[in-house]
Amino acid sequence: MEKDLISKKELLELTGISYGQLYRWKRKNLIPEEWFIKKSTFTGQETFFPKDRILDRIEKIKNMKGDVSLDDLADMLSPNLMETVLEREKLVERNIVSKTTMDFYIEEKGETEKFAFEKMLYLYILDKMFESGIINFEEGKIILTLLDEQYPKFKGKGGELLFLRKLGISSCCLVSSVCDIYFEDSMKIIERLNLSDLIEELKIKMT
Amino acid sequence: MVIFMKKHIADLKINGSGSSAGGKYNSVLVNGSGRIDGDLDCDYMKINGQCTVNGKVKVNSMKVHGNSLIKGNLEVEKAKIHGTADIKGNVSVENAETYGSVSVDGDCNAEIFKIEGTFAIEGLLNAGELELSLYGPSRAHEIGGEKIIVKKKGKYHFFGLKNLIMQGSSKGLKTETIEGDEIYLENTQAKVVRGNNIELGPGCEIELVEYKDNFKQDEKAEVGTQRKI
């Protein structure tokens, strides 16, 4: 699944951070263990990282570390769900979820005043997909049902949400992070969302 | 065997020889020989003598005089170990001092880590400030951090005698890579050393040195290739 890798040395040159900083961030769990990929090269073992993700992460850390402590930052970046609960109005007011998506959710699940982080995540995912226009309300329903029933099993682990369509019939599935998945030709992957990235985005939006 | 328990969150005391099933305690005190069959979560832990934990340990402050063996992960804020500590899992610690020998089968994360004696870490030793005063052969798979100081033997010269008799047998620290901001090494064998400021003292054998700002080398240090980046 990982396409582009960057070596540790290149990474430090490119971002201007030192070894000390990198190790410190690793200790504080700002950079997930799975991103450290060991490979043998002619100079012995070297460490590589998934390029886009690590560059993005380091940019984020550099931008935010002035305002937030490293420990708080680690909470924000980890795929673990937060304990926060937000009211319905707040979510719409702060533009985390659009009114349309909220109404859709209420219609499906009934009146809800307070949203736990998990539910917020579902809303956020739906919102994103509705907004991009790739799914309709009918398809929103199956995604919501899938998330509602299956996502709790994923707790704390990253994963991906795949939205598929074959001959006009749509379907969706949740897969855990490290896995290759192949489909036959007529199956189209319409959308592929990385859940840890979404959790991260949502956490940043909330603070 | 005597086990006292008191308060809401009980204390665990083992005087003599005894065992417990683990669990949550305020303080855990072992005088003599103890065995804990399960995970341990406590505020304070002190071992005088010998203790084996068949599980993981989470503790605020920990003191060991004697031997300790932990089969799982160790998570501790402050640790002071005189004697030996053998940890089969990963270690994460804020501030640790060890006098004697430490071995860790997994990775070791520490903010401040001071070791006098010997150590063996099979994974990555990752520390903010690392000060190693070595009395004998030690190894780590990789070392990374901000400030890394490795010195041959400490202030006491008792073990120095052994080195005198078995000259050449102990090679100090052996590791694959050392990466950090400030690095000072003595008696170290490594494939690669990378950092901003690197100083190599006597007895170093390094295949490749890559530095950013400064590099100093003792005349008794051997370096294969050195590169400024």
pTM of full prediction above 0.95: no
Tens-digit pLDDT profile for residues B140-192: 999 999 999 998 875 455 555 555 555 544 568 899 999 999 999 998 999 99
- A27 and B191: CB-CB below 8 Å? no
ipTM, interface predicted TM-score of the complex: 0.81
Give the model's pLDDT for residue B183.
93
Residues of B in contact with A28 (CB under 8 A): none
Residue B91 lies in a domain: no
Read off the pLDDT band of A1 (50, 70, 90).
very low
- A44 and B177: CB-CB below 8 Å? yes
Burial (CB count within 10 angstroms: exposed 0-12, middle 13-18, buried 19+), residue A114:
exposed
* Ranges A54-58, B7-11, B126-130: which has the least confidence: B7-11
pLDDT of residue A6 exceeding 80, the answer is yes
Residue B103 lies in a domain: no
Domain A5-76 has CATH 3.40.50.2300: no
Distance of CA A42 to the CA centre of its chain: 35
Question: Do A136 and A164 touch, CB atoms closer than 8 A?
Answer: no
- Domain ranges for chain A, please list them: 5-76, 85-206
Structural domain range at position B176: 115-229
Residues of B in contact with A26 (CB under 8 A): 126, 144
Sign of the Cα pseudo-torsion (A99, A105, A108, A113, in order): negative
- Distance of alpha carbon A58 from alpha carbon A19, whole angstroms: 13
The minimal CB distance from A24 to the residues B128, B196, B229 is found for: B128
Domain count, chain B: 1
Cα Rg for chain A, rounded, in angstroms? 19
DSSP code string of B142-170: EEEEEEEEEEES-S--HHHHHHHHTTTT-
- A27 and B208: CB-CB below 8 Å? no
Tens-digit pLDDT profile for residues B32-65: 999 999 999 999 999 999 999 999 999 999 999 9
Residue B68 lies in a domain: no
pLDDT (average), residues A138-166: 80
- B194 and A44: CB-CB below 8 Å? no
Question: Do A162 and A126 touch, CB atoms closer than 8 A?
Answer: no
B144 or A151, greater pLDDT: B144
Read off the pLDDT band of A189 (50, 70, 90).
confident
